[in-house]
Structure 1
Amino acid sequence: MSAHQITLRFLAEPSDVNFGGNVFGGSVMKWIDHAGYSCAANWSHSYCVTAYVGGIRFLKPIRIGDLVELKAELMHTGTTSMHISVSVYARDPKSDTERFTTHCILVFVAVDSEGNPSQVPTFVPETAQGHRLNNYARKMIDLRKRMQDEASSFLDEMEAQANTD
């Protein structure tokens, strides 16, 4: 097994169902976090904490009894952080027809026994898919930075306005 990717498989259980008869979105999010953590911890050989979850897309429902497969893949590393892509697939176990149901990007930070960020090994993509994911992660880093700057500017304006009222 490669150190930069991991696959989890299991059956969706009745306890995961919502009132519409499909799996709760919250259950899927929990599974995504587990797969992302497994990939990050496997890469860094450290305990990791979730620092960011973004771009989650629920594309198709997962039904109770479906065989669920989560594919987590390292996209990019910083000094202490790891960007992980998690794709979720589901299918009736009696069928070969797989559905792409959900996708999400997560950022984990490796931490030491004191809870302080710790350095992670550098990820160097070796495949075309790895390069594509790495480039996408870099674009998302830039986008998040611009969004944070815009939010800070807006909050500064709101605070200044509140102080003048």
Structure 2
Amino acid sequence: MSLERQVKAKLAAKRNPEQDKEAQKWIEDVLGKKFPAGQLYEDVLRDGVILCELINKLAPGSVPKVNTSGGQFKFMENINNFQEAIKRYGVHDVDVFQTVDLYEKKDIAQVTNTLFAIGRATYKHPEYKGPRLGPKPADEHHPEFTEEQLKSGQTVIGLQAGTNKGASQAGQNMGAGRKIILGK
């Protein structure tokens, strides 16, 4: 099996059709319109128009100009504008798919993961009252310690450091040199 085929097989195995359906339903619910019948999920998203409409619905004015025609360059521009807008919305760089993942259908699973990341980001926008996608992210918790608690921790050796119970230097050859025999 060629390397290219192995890579394609690995990417296809990562893809979860149920998550694709869940992401599609969420987009349809947010936008209030269904995907065109008979078209594949990735084909509908490929030109970036639906994605730009999605982020504009979540954060109005995020992508001011959406290209509905103009070919490959214009559609890839839509995708790039969408990516920049979702970063401003709160999606981390590591959660954003690469343009070729969608436009060339290289990694549709990553596109779906990005949509789930947008769904998680909606929880951080209290003004958003629409449908949600994915679980609510955990809130950060910053414990506060008193000065006394902090000082008491300085005298304790944590268990991560291990223990010296039962340790000895038996078997170590401290101070004795190695005997090196030189051959002829």
Same fold (TM > 0.5): no
TM-score (norm 1): 0.24
Whose radius of gyration is greater, 1 or 2? Answer: 2
TM-score (norm 2): 0.22
Greater share of strand: 1
* Bigger RCO of structures 1 and 2 (CA < 8 A, at least 6 apart): 1
